[in-house]
Amino acid sequence: MKNIIIEFLKQIKHFFYVVWNRLFKIHIMFILNDRERLDPSLVDKNHPYLRSHLNRYLLAKKMLSKNDRVLDLACGTGYGTAMLSSRAKHVFGVDLSKRAIWFAKRRYQKSNVEFQTGDFFDSFGKYDVVVSFETLEHIMAESFDQILVNLESKAKKLIIGSVPYLEKAEINPHHFWFDLNIKSFDLLTKRGKLVFYYQNCEGKIYKKLNPGYCQNLIFVVYRNG
């Protein structure tokens, strides 16, 4: 009888483990939003897009100073926010997804990092630096310039962002803006010095366009005044 009870308890334990594991995977699927978000702790280290994500934040990190207050707009799961915080005074991560922010607070919250649920067009005050990677193509607005004006209004001295380069409409159902290129950012030339970088599928970043190998366009705005 004792052995039967022990075996029964083992089966119950295994059942709850399987159920919990499946529920956790479903929860993670919602956090990653059909692979539109990414976190190094949730994907394999050989994930094809991991290096691209990390390299963009590493580039931004090099541009920060120790006294900068940084807004990471559309921060996702918060890993990039944490990366920036090792160089900046304070980093504020904002994302529309409550699940992503829930995860970010539990994984990356620390003394100079803060996370909050919010929309791209919400007012968060002005920050020294605004970082927003792979975000603008998701934003519904009357014009792309309207998105740029809102982004620019949040930054005091520096804006760092990225978009898919010349992406076609049939490639990604989550995006609203396509065929984005250097000309798409003409409005920002009136706000300061505009510098572009190009990123290939392996995540490497270049200052010059290598035709046929570019996946993302990274833009940096050094604001006037």
Residue the block writes with tokens 């934040």: 57
Average pLDDT, whole number, for the chain? 86
Mean pLDDT across 183-211? 91
State the architecture of 50-223 in CATH terms. Answer: 3-Layer(aba) Sandwich (3.40)
Residue 15 confidence (pLDDT) above 80: no
Mean pLDDT across 44-49? 79
Return the higher-pLDDT residue of 31 and 81: 81
pTM of the model: 0.84
Residue 190 confidence (pLDDT) above 80: yes
pLDDT band of residue 48 (cuts 50, 70, 90) is confident
Residue 38 confidence (pLDDT) above 50: yes
